[in-house]
Amino acid sequence: MTTASPAPKDTGKLPPRWVLKTMTRLHVFLHRLSGGGLNKLGGDEVCFVTMTGAKSGRTLTIPLMYVPHGEGVLLVASMGGAPKNPVWYHNLVKHPDIEVEHRGERRKLRARLAESAEKAALWPNCDHHYAPYAEYRKRTTRDIPIFVCEPR
């Protein structure tokens, strides 16, 4: 008789930062190598956001979950429900002009933080496109920011 092993408990801990940076670089590299054809992460749609670093001033491209919103997108600064905002949050606050690529289409957008009431209305759309956001909100004590990114 075989016994099933218990499922690993999700502790909510993120991998070390160097692992996240390496995974991000690899995902961007594979996306470019595929000619823009790599747009999924675990079955969920992603987009590639090019932004300016808040401290470095360098141009950076990172994959983020794709949540369409009108002619733009919503970017959720969840960081898996971690206690702090992701580094890219600070980039968008300081430099809101970004470029978003999804399925080979590039759009120049401007990011702004959603206000509390607006954000409450946006969460159902975010959850529809990436269900783990609901768990991330339960996991953290911080108010997870949502950027509304609209055409410039």
Q: What pLDDT digit, counting tens, does each position of 70-96 carry? A: 999 999 999 989 999 999 999 999 999
> Is the distance from CB of 63 to CB of 57 less than 8 angstroms?
no
Q: What angle (nearest 5°) sits at the alpha carbon of residue 136, between those of residues 121 and 30? A: 100
pLDDT higher than threshold 50 for residue 118: yes
Domain boundaries, the chain: 17-151
Span 41-77, pLDDT tens digits: 556 788 999 999 999 999 999 989 999 999 999 999 9
- CATH of 17-151, picked from 2.30.110.10, 3.40.190.10, 2.30.30.30, 1.10.3720.10, is 2.30.110.10
82: Cβ contacts below 8 Å, ≥ 6 apart = 12, 14, 140
